[in-house]
A and B are shown apart, each in its own frame.
Chain A
Amino acid sequence: MSTVFIAFQTNEDTRPIIEAILADNPNAVLDEQPAMVKINAEGRLVIKRESIEERIGRAFDLQEMQINLITLSGHIDEDDDQFTLAWNN
């Protein structure tokens, strides 16, 4: 199976997003680099709006991720509730 990844800038906005991703994806592996946090996962990675909202205590639009997103890999499926990265193999 292939690895997907997503990377964010290291800051206070992304801390709850990263926590939510790690909680929702047991296969996710954290890789901390200077100024950046990268999360790798075999096959598939899901980012859930609700999990982020629980942590930040306000409504969150998943597209807010754009501000602190650095890069990603895999096919994207995005709707209002979740953002999924996956390879079809």
Chain B
Amino acid sequence: MDMQAKKKLGLKEKYAHMTRGLGWETTYQPMDKVFPYDKFEGIKIHDWEKWEDPFRLTMDAYWKYQAEKERKLYAILDAFAQNNGHLGVTDARYLNAIKLFISGVSPLEYMAHRGFAHVGRQMRGVGPRVACQMQSLDELRHVQTQIHTVSNYNKFYNGMHQFRHQHDRMWYLSVPKSFFDDAFTAGPFEYMIAIGFSFEYVLTNLLFVPFMSGAAYNGDMATVTFGFSAQSDEARHMTLGLECIKFMLEQDPDNLPIVQRWIDKWAWRGIRVLTLVAMMMDYMLPKRVMSWREAWEIYFEQNGTALFNDLARYGIKMPDCVAQAIADKDHISHQAWATFYQYGAATAFHTWMPTDEEMDWLSAKYPNSFDQYYRPRFTHWREEAEKGNRFYNKTLPMLCQTCQIPMLFTEPGDPTKICYRESDYNGEKYHFCSDHCKHIFDHEPEKYVQSWLPVHQIYQGSCFPEGTDPTVEGFDPLKAVLDWYKVDFGRDNLDFEGSEDQKNFAAWRGMATKNA
């Protein structure tokens, strides 16, 4: 037999075959009716063939490597379950970071799946459509693997059992939820900037890299594995976001101001959501790899500067909000933790005050802020708790109309004064946590007046279980709201000290290391 194998196609050729020549000009219906959403934002595209996907992963390679990632992850999850891996974490306080993760972040992965499926359908160019569809599959994998991983903790600990129900209702979960809803309800190009650039490039590197490395440091092999497994896809997603920006800018000079505005908006939206990650890193990891400030400097300041230097040739400038974010890096994690501590009766996770040793670490990492502004307050709260007066704030805070975070941030340059901004629109007054959130609102007030703000909704009576009568004597509104959230009072919430999680973890770990 004289069979000669033909030389295999190179990677670039293979990828070109997969992503080019698949589309066609429709004739039964005009193209603008088949793809109704890719022009209204004002982005001008002259040649979709100029799209260059940086990762040339063909479908056969995609399935092969994704399957291998899954096998690795599930092998670790099996070992984790068989070996009572949950008892290997440093300290049961750590579990509260996982509670925040499953309720705040994992549902966003599902929204990303839906969003990219939608955008993949709406872009008329074949290259971005293929890339978006692959990302859509990745995101579905992320939410599934995260739920499977965390289910191993949910068997033993409180606060995770209603993560999906709470994502749509809980006051602090409206922060990440509204970020995604904002992106999802924008046009396809803005969505690509919001998620492909801001969420993937700005947020996930900070969430999945130093935080997950921290999970490993705290003995949580299950979480670090799904985290790194997800992040290996994010490397592709980040480059997709970056490619989309370059593509828009190269297609038409008129796209520049639109893209710059989106970058400015979404950089700030992302930075505000990162407040939760900042707090997780500085307060919720009992063993710390690096402070929030250090992670921010590496992944945002250095890496972000490199990116913006690169985009400068298109005329893109570093967003103005970054200057404030840099000044804020000394404060946001402490201000957020102080807020959650006060509202610890209305959370589905436990809160606590740091130990002396932890406060010393915080002052070493935050020499310009911690001892001066936060240690005195935290020491006071701890002393009060020791005397039996654990402080729970029972009033409801005012929320920012744009980012939905309670008004907890301080004035730029004055960490002793809460920052308030306001705008009037159609005879109503709207409140903001910062100049940047106000600017975002002022540009699209029709959108943000519709925000579902948890505190407003509570006052309007929208957050009580069906059939609740708030006029009966002795009505306890906080209890009714927690019932509606499905927070199991006394088990899911309140201080870590004295919690069921704390007692169970100590008892079970004792059983694991001693003969009872």
Which A residues are closer than 8 A to B by beta carbons? 2-5, 7, 9, 33-36, 61, 63-64, 66-80, 87-89
Q: How far is B209's CA from A15's CA once the two chains are assembled, in angstroms?
A: 19
Determine the chain A residues whose CB is within 8 A of the CB of B455 once the complex forms: none
Determine the chain B residues whose CB is within 8 A of the CB of A87 once the complex forms: 306-307, 309-310
Quick one: which of A35, A66, A79 contacts B213, CB cutoff 8 A? A35
A71 with B11: CB separation less than 8 A: no
Binds A, one of B54-62, B271-279, B407-415: B54-62
Quick one: which of A34, A74, A79 contacts B306, CB cutoff 8 A? A74
Binds A, one of B32-40, B234-242, B360-368: B234-242
B11 with A33: CB separation less than 8 A: no
Which B residues are closer than 8 A to A by beta carbons? 10-12, 54-57, 61, 65, 68-69, 72, 205, 208-210, 212-214, 216-217, 224, 228, 231-232, 234-235, 238-239, 242, 289, 302-303, 305-307, 309-310, 312-313
Distance to closest chain B CB from A13 (angstroms)? 10
B313 with A88: CB separation less than 8 A: yes
B228 with A70: CB separation less than 8 A: yes
Q: Taking A33-B213, A33-B289, A87-B309 as contacts, is the C-beta distance between A66 and B232 under 8 angstroms?
A: yes
Quick one: which of B11, B55, B305 contacts A80, CB cutoff 8 A? B11
Q: Taking A2-B310, A33-B213, A67-B232 as contacts, is the C-beta distance between A76 and B65 under 8 angstroms?
A: no
Residue of A nearest to B233 (CB): A66
Q: How far is B312's CA from A36's CA once the two chains are assembled, in angstroms?
A: 32
Once A and B bind, how many residue pairs between them come within 8 Å at the CB atom?
96
B10 with A80: CB separation less than 8 A: yes
B310 with A89: CB separation less than 8 A: yes
A66 with B57: CB separation less than 8 A: yes
B65 with A34: CB separation less than 8 A: no
Q: How far is B65's CA from A47's CA once the two chains are assembled, in angstroms?
A: 19
Residue of A nearest to B224 (CB): A35
Quick one: which of A34, A74, A75 contacts B216, CB cutoff 8 A? A34
A-B contacts, 30 listed (Cβ < 8 Å): A2-B306, A2-B309, A3-B306, A9-B228, A33-B210, A33-B213, A34-B216, A35-B216, A35-B217, A36-B228, A63-B11, A63-B65, A67-B68, A67-B69, A69-B235, A70-B209, A70-B228, A71-B234, A71-B235, A72-B238, A73-B238, A73-B306, A73-B307, A74-B306, A75-B239, A78-B55, A79-B10, A79-B12, A87-B310, A88-B313
